[in-house]
Amino acid sequence: MTTDPQQQQMIREAMKAIAERRPGRSKLVYDKTKRTIVAVTEGTQTPRALNITADDADMFGVATLSSHWLTERWGTLLRDRMIPVRFSSWDGGDALTQLEIGPLPASSLVEGVVVLGSDIPGPAGASLRIALHPGKGPVSEDSTIVAPDGSVHHATAHAQRNGEDHPLDTHFVDLQPDLALRRSSLLETNVLKDKTVLLVGVGTGGGHAAVELAKCGVGRFDLIDADRLTVGNVVRHPGGLSQVGRLKVNVMRDMILDKNPDAQVTIHPFEVTSHNVETIRPLIARADVVICGTDNRPSKLLINRLCIEENKTALYGGAFRRAYGGQVLRVRPKTSPCHECFVAAMPEESTDEEISSQQAADAVAYSDRPVAVEPGLSLDVLPIANMLTKLALMELVADTSSTLRVLKADYAAPWYLWLNRPEPGTRYADWPALSESIDEMTINRWYGIDLARDSDCPVCGDFIATLAASYGLDPKNFGDLAAPPAKE
């Protein structure tokens, strides 16, 4: 692609003249003797040879519109001969993207209009004018749209910037077919679009999992989180600085829709506490899988109990301190250990949690012995988020003939352990170096670990019956407790 400003200007003028079907000062002519295309400009003695390549087509900006949006309004276009449309303006006007295509607008917006025929003037104030010209095929070009009546139209676009006219390429896009095409070979997109994932906590881990699931085509999301995005979050969270201050559920809703515009996302900006049980329970009941990425035990234990009661598979993911590693626990009610079983069986692992916020630090510290906030790196949390996503997908397509079915044996274990580094002071400090190990446990590998259910678990087992029996009691004979003694 040429970078010579003079050549670019000549090409632009010639292309503009061609697009507008009028003679211009510059023309593109094939020069047989030089075996290249030359631009001939009036008043110039010697034609300049231009080494035009396919990339030169990209020297023009692009206006992108949804073909679905336009065909739905075709009747209005036929009646009014024009439809106003707004665009995000990116990169100084190099890319103009119709607002309806995604949920995140640019900081600069452009008013535009689609007109039917080049003789229709656009309304005053419109900076972008896209004219549709009736024609014949081919319909495979990006600038071609087929109307509901089968007629073919080619688009030409012109933007007004700084009092100058700039031709643009027009791209019509068909969102869902284009998105589905890229993922349908591996995933049952028709299945996933009807599946619901409840994400409890959309911080770094839950947020990344949400975006990945949206990319895969999951169609329904419920997001629970009361936190707002802070500057400190930005180095880890999918949300960026431009979204600081927003509720994380709102940030993630927009990011999900930016990847899967047909997704249904419902936000629930509240804390997970026992006071919200009756609000949370129906969300669990309607979910196909629950991902719990909260950073405190009380919320995990509450979600665990509700998921067991509602018979819903749940995934609990978390990083260890400073994200030296992390773990994912998958709980299939009554068939695999629940989170309470895990806590009882693995007390050290279940309390090794990342201190990623002041709230998390306060939860484990006394006010006279503060604990430092020491979040890990995003890149060390992402393996855990990816595992959460993979396990969630496995659950969502479990009853289909998915390509993922071949992974069933690989992901049979309920508990998964990952280490980013052999952290000093932990039981993993002496793990062999990755480069030296042949068959020993090392960093940067997932380990699926079998764990037995606790048949006497207080949540998924027979805790009360077993404990009562150990004291010779029968729960069938339990009654009401006594009232407190009268105060003297």
The site for another protein (CB under 8 A) is made up of 273-275, 277, 296-298, 301-302, 304-305, 340, 343-344, 347, 351, 353, 363-364, 366-369, 457-459, 463-464, 467-468, 471, 473, 475, 478-484
Give the single-character DSSP code of 439. Answer: S
Query: For residues 410 and 447, is the Cβ–Cβ distance under 8 A?
Result: no
The string of DSSP letters for 176-225 reads HHHHHHHHTTTS-HHHHTT-EEEEE--SHHHHHHHHHHHHHT--EEEEE-
C-beta of 42 vs 480, nearer to another protein: 480
CA 420, CA 418: separation in Å to the nearest integer?
Answer: 7
C-beta of 35 vs 275, nearer to another protein: 275
Backbone angles phi, psi at 169, to 5 degrees: -75, 145
Give the single-character DSSP code of 321. Answer: G
Tokens of 298: 């009380």
C-beta of 184 vs 351, nearer to another protein: 351
What contacts 300, CB < 8 A, 6 or more positions away?
292, 294, 316, 339
C-beta of 17 vs 346, nearer to another protein: 346
C-beta of 212 vs 227, nearer to another protein: 227
Query: For residues 307 and 334, is the Cβ–Cβ distance under 8 A?
Result: no
Q: Is the peptide bond before 138 cis (omega within 30 degrees of 0)?
A: yes
CA 314, CA 340: separation in Å to the nearest integer?
Answer: 13
Report the nearest approach of another protein to the CB of residue 457 (Å).
8
C-beta of 301 vs 449, nearer to another protein: 301
Give how far Cα 457 sits from Cα of 274, 335, 377, Å.
20, 13, 35
Report the nearest approach of another protein to the CB of residue 276 (Å).
10
Q: Looking at the DSSP assignment, which residues form a beta bridge with residue 189? A: none
What contacts 91, CB < 8 A, 6 or more positions away?
none
Report the nearest approach of another protein to the CB of residue 339 (Å).
9
Indicate if the alpha-carbon torsion angle 426, 432, 438, 443 is positive or negative: positive
C-beta of 177 vs 298, nearer to another protein: 298
Report the nearest approach of another protein to the CB of residue 415 (Å).
16
C-beta of 274 vs 444, nearer to another protein: 274
Helix (H) / strand (E) element for 19: namely helix 5-19
Selection from 340, 328, 334 nearest residue 302 by Cα? 340
SS3 (DSSP) at 115? strand
What contacts 16, CB < 8 A, 6 or more positions away?
24, 165, 167
Report the nearest approach of another protein to the CB of residue 479 (Å).
7
Report the nearest approach of another protein to the CB of residue 273 (Å).
7
C-beta of 277 vs 434, nearer to another protein: 277
Report the nearest approach of another protein to the CB of residue 473 (Å).
6
Report the nearest approach of another protein to the CB of residue 298 (Å).
5
Give the single-character DSSP code of 467. Answer: H
Report the nearest approach of another protein to the CB of residue 310 (Å).
14
C-beta of 138 vs 472, nearer to another protein: 472
Tokens of 108: 């600069």
C-beta of 51 vs 273, nearer to another protein: 273
Give the single-character DSSP code of 70. Answer: H
Report the nearest approach of another protein to the CB of residue 305 (Å).
5
What contacts 113, CB < 8 A, 6 or more positions away?
82, 83, 84, 85, 122, 123, 126, 128, 129, 130
Tokens of 106: 């640019």
Report the nearest approach of another protein to the CB of residue 188 (Å).
36
C-beta of 367 vs 401, nearer to another protein: 367
Report the nearest approach of another protein to the CB of residue 275 (Å).
7
